[in-house]
Structure 1
């Protein structure tokens, strides 16, 4: 199988190449492209690629722009970070995708599906237009206020005043910038879909944290990270090794 990788993060492209070769050492990586411009240049010329793995966000734009300027007549599997809105777009348009950080088992399943299905299964113009409509034109709206419990009443709590969400004994709590905690009648998974992912990050099963309140990040054993927040949290907030790179990219964005 001859593969092209479109990815502007060297560590991510190296990891994907490593996983591909771990699954099947006969896979040939023809090219690693790190920009829209380089990809357009490559795909407008004759090539013998059979499959493309394509990151969405590249250094010089969004990878969907490549399809406006070059015809890609082979299957494409997009790679994307944890973005519920983007996932909805892919599902609606029946386009293959993998979540970052890429899991070897899921990658193997994607390759198996590729071999089972027709290899000339390229993305149609209809699919791409639907994807562009949902991601580039339509913009998600995020929750600005939560109704929280305070004694025997419900109080509106604005999202800009929330430092982090945590789950304790099955109850979800919102901790504010002035270190007050309020219970919320929602699951952490539901909250994650309702708030802006550029401002909040799902650190682990117990925490969603706001970027602005992160005070310090420490290296932990086995590639994990420990995050300190302000206001302080009594429970340790740990980022797993699998999510460490994604978290650091989010922090730097």
Structure 2
């Protein structure tokens, strides 16, 4: 059995294993059970089974996935249901490596797979998880400090007049040609003499999210969102129905977490 004093090996884990080859499935299940003895492993052999598992509402901590399944490539499902958890992809071929990087890949294993390779990638996962746990702790402490500086209202300009706009009345803020615009929930447009980076700090983080370099949005201005090209998320915003605002694949998981807070 793998012996390690780190926290990640000793907490309950939800692991998704997608593999149609019985020998590899047996090996992977054995190594996972040894490395994470308190883990719960959901086993799938087809894309159809994977889709059912992803729609069940389970929050997975890690997935190990064969690329080529009996009913098609796994990317067909991940394009529809973007994984928010880290994924280790497996294949007998190198040709899927680049495509797998769009779906939270932390490693890519070539078949046939040896036990030592699985242990190596689990150690990599463990190191990454501990790193981000430490970062989260530091950022959480910073957020508590930052909350003292967050604003309930902003001064915005329209024409030659200045107005006080409550943050709860803001739909979204965006930059265009180096000018920062504020759109309120009634659709009125103002300019703001602040950068998006400054506003990102000053606005309540529970209500506002920096979706990309050009937009900060209020949660109540999000009408809908859907998976888009290369793991991105496309937003439909209040008063901006004709144009989609995209969230990068790198920020997609954090966006989903923020939505559910």
Give TM class, smaller chain: 0.5 to 0.7
1:3-18 equivalent positions in 2, closer than 5 A = 4-5=7-8, 10-11=60-61, 15=86
* 2:130 aligned partner: 53
* 1:100 aligned partner: none
Larger radius of gyration between Structure 1 and Structure 2: 2
Q: Per-residue displacement from partner, 1:217-253 (whole Å, max 9, x unpaired)? A: 1221111111001122554200111111221121122
Which of 230, 235, 238 is the equivalent residue of 1:222?
230
Matched, 1:185 2:193: yes
Matched, 1:80 2:136: yes
Structure 1 unaligned residues grouped into runs of 5+:
34-49, 57-77, 91-133
Matched, 1:19 2:106: yes
SS of 1:196 mapped into structure 2: coil
Cα distance 1:164–1:12, how it changes in 2: closer, same or farther (>3 A)? farther
Tell me if the contact between 2:151 and 2:203 (Cα under 8 Å) persists in the aligned partners: yes
RMSD of equivalent CA atoms: 3.8
Q: Per-residue displacement from partner, 1:37-77 (whole Å, max 9, x unpaired)? A: xxxxxxxxxxxxx9971765xxxxxxxxxxxxxxxxxxxxx
Once residues 51 and 244 of structure 1 are traced to their aligned partners in structure 2, the CA distance between those partners, rounded to angstroms, is: 18
Tell me if the contact between 1:7 and 1:55 (Cα under 8 Å) persists in the aligned partners: no
Tell me if the contact between 1:7 and 1:54 (Cα under 8 Å) persists in the aligned partners: no
Which of 190, 213, 219 is the equivalent residue of 1:211?
219
Tell me if the contact between 2:158 and 2:189 (Cα under 8 Å) persists in the aligned partners: no
Q: Per-residue displacement from partner, 1:133-184 (whole Å, max 9, x unpaired)? A: x84x995342111111122232111111100011111111110000011000
In the TM superposition, what is the alpha-carbon distance from 1:194 to its structure 2 partner?
A: 0.5
With the length of structure 1 as denominator, give the TM-score of the two structures.
0.53
Matched, 1:231 2:239: yes
Once residues 168 and 160 of structure 1 are traced to their aligned partners in structure 2, the CA distance between those partners, rounded to angstroms, is: 23
Tell me if the contact between 1:148 and 1:154 (Cα under 8 Å) persists in the aligned partners: yes
Q: Number of residue pairs matched? A: 166
SS of 1:198 mapped into structure 2: coil
In the TM superposition, what is the alpha-carbon distance from 1:11 to its structure 2 partner?
A: 4.0
In the TM superposition, what is the alpha-carbon distance from 1:80 to its structure 2 partner?
A: 2.6
Q: Per-residue displacement from partner, 1:65-120 (whole Å, max 9, x unpaired)? A: xxxxxxxxxxxxx1439xxxx53846xxxxxxxxxxxxxxxxxxxxxxxxxxxxxx
With the length of structure 2 as denominator, give the TM-score of the two structures.
0.52
Cα distance 1:28–1:237, how it changes in 2: closer, same or farther (>3 A)? closer
Cα distance 1:223–1:179, how it changes in 2: closer, same or farther (>3 A)? same
Once residues 184 and 167 of structure 2 are traced to their aligned partners in structure 1, the CA distance between those partners, rounded to angstroms, is: 9
SS of 2:130 mapped into structure 1: strand
Once residues 160 and 175 of structure 2 are traced to their aligned partners in structure 1, the CA distance between those partners, rounded to angstroms, is: 21
Once residues 175 and 194 of structure 1 are traced to their aligned partners in structure 2, the CA distance between those partners, rounded to angstroms, is: 17
